[in-house]
Amino acid sequence: MSSDFEGYEQDFAVLTAEITSKIGRVPKLSPDEKKQMVANVEKQLEEAKELLEQMDLEVREIPSQSRGMYTSRMRSYKQEMGKLETDFKRSRIAYSDEVRNELLGDDGNSSENQRAHLLDNTERLERSSRRLEAGYQIAVETEQIGQEMLENLSHDREKIQRARERLRETDANLGKSSRILTGMLRRIIQNRILVVILAIIVVVTILTAIFISVKGH
């Protein structure tokens, strides 16, 4: 399981390095090259998001006692992804301003004002995105805690069931032992009664013999 995660991790590192390099090159390209580069970066960002989703699924399959380290690494990768998206948005806004200026012939001041307005909106969106990500992280952690509680409850239930089975077996053994002891006690009483009867017969026989002997003399 960890080997799969590390494989996705390496792919993510290579992909984000390529994205960072391409974002840095966007301002230096010609309009046609910029358009092609922006489309390329958008595609790679989607691939990076898919890798993050795969890594997140792998982390959920890791046992809870070993999950903490991977959760921390995932948090760092998500922050890195957010920074890449922010940098790309700024680069794309600059690219959009250039295209608009070429088509409409806007002056520099108007372009700067529009760019500042777009950057302000972008920052607001980023703050909202960070809040959503924080909420998602809390939900994931809550889900993990719930899963651990369910696992503990399941283990406790198994222990209780095993204890009940042992109690049933003990009761059954006690019942058998009780029947055996009752039978032994009954045989002992019967044997003692037979001994007493035999003793009485012997005594009566002896007394009868003595009586007949005395009477004959």
pLDDT tens digit string along 21-34? 888 888 788 888 88
Q: Which residues contact 81 (CB under 8 A, 6 or more apart)?
A: 16, 48, 49, 52
The verdict on residue 177 lying in a domain is no
pLDDT at 96 over 80: no
Number of structural domains found in the chain:
1
Q: Which pLDDT score is estimated for 106? A: 47
What's the CATH code of the domain at 30? 1.20.58.400
In this structure, are residues 88 and 43 in contact, taking their beta carbons and an 8 Å threshold? no
pLDDT tens digits, residue range 101-136? 444 444 444 555 566 566 666 766 666 666 666 656
Span 51-63, mean pLDDT?
89
Helix (H, G, I), strand (E, B) or coil at 1: coil
Report the amino acid identity of residue 157.
R
48 in a domain, yes or no? yes
What secondary structure letter does DSSP report for 105? -
Q: Is 151 part of a structural domain of the chain?
A: yes
Position 113 in a domain: no
Domain that holds residue 40: 3-99+125-160
Contact 19, 45 (CB under 8 A): yes
In a domain, residue 167? The reply is no
Round the average pLDDT of the chain to a whole number and report it: 79
Q: Is residue 79 part of a domain?
A: yes
Smallest CA-to-CA distance from 203 within 191, 192, 211 is with 211
Render pLDDT for 157-200 as a digit per residue (tens, 0 to 9).
888 888 788 888 887 888 788 888 888 888 899 888 988 898 89
Closest of 93, 73, 84, 94 to residue 15, by C-alpha = 84
